Amino acid sequence: MSLVIRFSPDLVAWLVTELSSGRAPSALADTMVAQQMDGRVARAIVDAVVSARLANRALPSDSLTIDDDRLGYVYEAPLREVGSRIAVSDATVSVMARADKPRIAVLSGVLEPAECEELIARARPRLRASTIVDPKTGKDVVTDRRTSRGMFFRLEEDAFIARIDRRLSEIMNLPLENGEGLQVLHYSQGAHNEPHYDFLQPANDSNRASIARSGQRVSTLVAYLNDVESGGETTFPAIGWAVSPHRGCAVYFEYANRLGQVDTGTLHGGNVIALGEKWVVTKWMRQKRFVSAGDAPSEGMVPSRA
């Protein structure tokens, strides 16, 4: 799989000037890294310019195509800088644990107990068998890989849901309109969710159309609405993490960058509920304003932002 790296033509002009003056390629790459560029990207651009000069080929102008496997996932500046606390307009969220690669944070104080109870009460009568997206067809299908029931709220469906949407958007540090509607899931005793990715894989027409409308999914926040007596942990196999569900707490993770890469280290799943039940609410964020398939304008129509 190839990856296109985009950069300013001014960067190439600067590299040519510096190389002509006798500066070492490694020193130029170090300078680019000091300006917050990923080291692997910097070295790839410098190598391409040096190789083109030595072979008397045309210099790369504003982009470079390289083997994605050679580069690996590039961790850019995080969407949400995570210290010990995250202050938003109506709450102060505590950061209990975090990882940098993949980028994950465990949070507490995301939802109040009364808000958890109200989300459960509102979701319960609307629950249906949960589905997953078939990677070949892009259609939602019921499968034993996810043995839960779920429902979606519309974005800012009412004043209560709007308050939760706004808070989670602030925690995730992306515009409200980039968020998909809240999804509530209920797992009964014995239910589970096999390891999966939240980013969209462009292997079918449905996913490709969704990415074209709204961009890739870039981050997820899963908030727990109740305490689970035993089991139900959210697991991240790549780093050996298991996050126990506690009411009002959440796990947050990022998995897409501006180069078009996705972080496979965010593979995650839900352990079997050994005792009790589990309720969660999930918020997914996109690269740009989320437009569902049902809301997408027909050809020739002017899209509404209402």
**In the predicted model, is pLDDT for residue 299 greater than 60?**
no
* Alpha-carbon gap, residue 169 to 79, rounded angstroms: 11
Give the pair of three-digit tokens for residue 43.
Answer: 């070295």
Determine the angle formed by the axes of helices 9-20 and 25-34, rounding to 10 degrees: 140
* Alpha-carbon gap, residue 84 to 97, rounded angstroms: 9
Strands 217-224 and 230-231, bridge-based pairing:
unpaired
| pLDDT band with cut points at 50, 70 and 90 for residue 258 | confident
> Of the candidates 75, 15, 64, which has an alpha carbon nearest to the alpha carbon of residue 39?
75
Domain 85-292 has CATH 3.40.50.170: no
Domain boundaries, the chain: 2-71, 85-292
- Residue-wise pLDDT for 107-157, tens only, equals 999 999 999 999 999 999 999 997 666 656 656 666 666 678 999 999 999
- Residue-wise pLDDT for 44-89, tens only, equals 899 899 989 988 899 998 888 877 666 788 898 999 988 899 999 9
Mean residue pLDDT across the chain: 90
Q: Which residues of 99-135 are buried (b: 16+ CB within 10 A; e: fewer)?
A: beebbbbbbebbbeeebbebbeebbeeeeeebeebee
